Structures are given as structure tokens and as C-alpha cells.
Amino acid sequence: MLNLYKNCNLCPRQCGVNRLKGELGFCGADATAEINRIGLHFMEEPIISGTKGSGTVFFTHCSLGCIFCQNSDISRRVSSGKKYSANELAKQYIELEKMGAHNINLVTPTHYMPTVAQSCVLAREMGLKIPFVYNTSGFEMPEHIKKLDGIIDIFLTDLKYFSPYLANRYSGSEDYFDYCLPAISEMIKITGSPTFNDDGILKKGTIIRHLILPGAVNDTLNILRQTQKHFSDRVLVSLMRQYTPMSTDLPDELNRTVTDEEYAKAVDEFNALGLSGFLQQSDSVGKDKIPKFE
């Protein structure tokens, strides 16, 4: 699977660079997995973090590159971290399990998918028992998601935009939704409907996350409607209010948080559609809620 780095088409940007030779595409990552932070994380959805925390692995760089990224300290093209082989990663997963983690949470893994998949297989061979969570922007190639069948237990995927205009304005990819829809369908084929352990922690399933953006509540309504139309009761939905401006060079419309009125409109639609999942409250807003990176 590591040969996928040779002519990289791991994400829809299809850069075609040879990362095995150190060539860099849009994301800025080479062929060695780079990580900024590994540790227990308690600020995911309750069925992911539970009481003991999610064993979170924050990969550097990103194939989508949203201008408002909440993790921009580590997601940009010039981001840096510590390099890990698949075997070294697998050992880190084992350590997180020993710390009591409910799961191994792989954050922004798309551009390192071959190494991530290999590390998961190795960890299982080492005796790892807890689920693997693939925490993704949703900007995925469906054929590569298929390769994760039998490896990933839980998909925690964003569904950021329905509007091609917004997808292009904020992430430089007007076809974002066109890739997300079939990719999420593949995720659901792999996980099936959500199932839980005796403690109410998710052990298999797909969660769709949507971050409400200021001034874009109508796009949020479309995302919720499309989710109900295509995925219905096969997924859980996490409607997120945490948007916080993270830089000073954002477009004017993004230089504020979501209003109570915008949030209420989104929640009303969520409830009217009969969606199941999570509604993030106003106390989630603020830079102090963003993970501290090295």
C-alpha cells in the first residue's frame, strides 16, 4: 500500500507527486507520517471521549486546507512534528490503550493513509483491542476508503459544505460535496449502523460532523437535509457551534462567532428532520477549547 505515495492520488486534489522521493504536493507532506501531538483527548463527542478520553493522534499537514481551520497551528503546508514509522505508531497506540483510552483517534489521516492502515494492522497484531477512529475532513477518494475495510471501526467525518461557492471560497475545492457523498457511503458500508459497548461508548459506526459557519446557516440547512436524505438513521450527526476565528486575515464574514439566531435555526432543522446525534452548546466556543499543540 505504501506505493500509493509514489504517484500520490490519496485525496481528490490528485497531485500525482512522488512522495517517496520527497516531492511535495498540496498538503506539503512527504511519505513519512508526521505527528504533532499524541495523548488523551476529552473534547470529542461523548460517545468517543467517554470518561477516560480518546487516544488522539494529531497528524500534521492537511489535504483540504480550510482558511478558518481550528487546528491551523499544525495543519498548514509548513507545519512540522515528529516523524514516525508504522511500527513506531503502532507502539504509540498500545501505550494509549494502556493509559485507558476508549479508542485510537486518528486526526487528519488522509494524506498518510497507507502508513496509518499499516500501523493499525501492526497494532492489532501486537494485541490492541480498542476501536480505531478515522477522523477526517470528508474530502476523500471513495476507492481509498474501501481499502480501510476491516481496519477502521469508526469514521468521524466532516461534511463541511453543500455549496460549491463556499467550498471553493474557504477550501479551494468547489467539488468538495461531490467527493464527500460517495466517500461517506463507503464509510457506512464498512461500519454499518452505530453500535455501542456496555458503557455506551461507540465501538462501530459513522458520525457526520458539521461545523456551522457564521453567515452560512442556509448551507448548514442544506447539509442537514442531504444527510437525512442519503444517510437517514444509519449515521449519527454532530452539529457543531464551536467556530472561533483563528487568524486576522479571514474574510469579513468569518471574523465573528455564530449567533444565537443562526444556531437556533440550525437546531430547529436538525430536530424537524428527526436526526440523531449531538448538539454542541455555546460553551464550546473560544480559543481555550482548541487543543494545545507542540
Specify the pTM.
Answer: 0.94
User: Helices 217-230 and 260-272: crossing angle, nearest 10°?
Assistant: 20
pLDDT for 247 equals 79
Query: How large is the average pLDDT for residues 70-86?
Result: 78
Report residue 36 as a C-alpha cell.
Answer: 504533532
Report residue 168 as a C-alpha cell.
Answer: 471553493
pLDDT for 248 equals 77
Compute the distance between CA of residue 240 and CA of residue 145 in angstroms, rounded to an integer.
Answer: 24
Residue 186 has pLDDT above 60, yes or no: yes
Instruction: Check if CATH label 3.20.20.70 holds for domain 28-289.
Output: yes
Residue 29 has φ and ψ, to the nearest 5°, of -100, 145
User: Helices 86-98 and 113-125: crossing angle, nearest 10°?
Assistant: 50
Give the number of other Cβ atoms within 10 Å of residue 20's Cβ.
16
pLDDT digits (tens, 9 = 90+) for 122-147: 999 999 999 999 999 999 999 999 99
Compute the distance between CA of residue 153 and CA of residue 191 in angstroms, rounded to an integer.
Answer: 6
Residue 249 has pLDDT above 90, yes or no: no
pLDDT for 167 equals 98
Task: Identify residue 278 by its one-letter amino acid code.
Answer: F
